[in-house]
Structures are given as structure tokens and as C-alpha cells.
Amino acid sequence: DQQVKQNSPSLSVQEGRISILNCDYTNSMFDYFLWYKKYPAEGPTFLISISSIKDKNEDGRFTVFLNKSAKHLSLHIVPSQPGDSAVYFCAASAYERDDKIIFGKGTRLHILP
């Protein structure tokens, strides 16, 4: 049973445009959400996170939106740059309940010139 779902395996976006990566979750106990970025032959690196008490968190070109009622979050990258081409993982945890983080399968983002 996949608790964190990234339904788009890949996404292509023109350089300079907005990239929107989506993530859905099923476990209502999740209260902390993270996005990680992964380049080939490297480990994932933390990008941005959001607590369930917020509905938006912004860090430079990256913004994460959380819709708790829909159990949906999205990562917006604007403007998209060539270096953003990578695999993006959505992850979630029930911060106060246990010590594991559940990852989605990832979305491969291609930024087109």
C-alpha cells in the first residue's frame, strides 16, 4: 500500500517556465512533508519542507503548497532552470508518532532548452 504517491513518473518543462510536481498521500497522520532532489549517481538532497500547520512554504524559486483536506501537496519551481533537471521525491512523516519517513517513487523532471 503506497502511502505517498507521485503519479507522474516524468515531466518536461520549458526553461523559464513554471514546473509543478504533484504528490498525494493517504495517511491522515502525516504532518510533515519534504521534497528531495536527486541527480544520477548521487544521494537525494533535501530541498524544502512544510509542516501541516502551514499551507505554503517558500524558499527562493521553490514553493511547496499543502492542501490537507485533499491530502495533496505540490512543489512549484519558478523559473525552471536547466540545473533543475533531476528526480524529485516527495516524502512524508508522522512527526510525533514514529521515526520513519515514507517516500514516493519520484518524478523525473526534464527542463527543455
The site for another protein (CB under 8 A) is made up of: 4, 6, 32, 34, 36, 41-46, 49, 51, 89, 91, 93, 95, 98-106
Q: How far is the CB of 100 from another protein (least distance, A)?
A: 4
Give 36 or 84: the residue with its C-beta nearer to another protein. 36
Are the C-beta atoms of 57 and 48 separated by less than 8 Å?
yes
* Cα 27 from Cα 24, distance rounded (Å): 10
Which one, 38 or 71, has the nearer CB to another protein? 38
Whole-angstrom Cα distance, residue 79 to residue 2?
31
Q: Is the CB of 9 or the CB of 16 nearer to another protein?
A: 9
Supply the minimum distance, in Å, between the C-beta of residue 105 and another protein.
Answer: 4
Residues near 87 by beta carbon (within 8 Å), at least 6 away in sequence? 37, 38, 39, 106, 107, 108, 109
Q: Smallest distance from the beta carbon of 74 to another protein, in angstroms?
A: 17
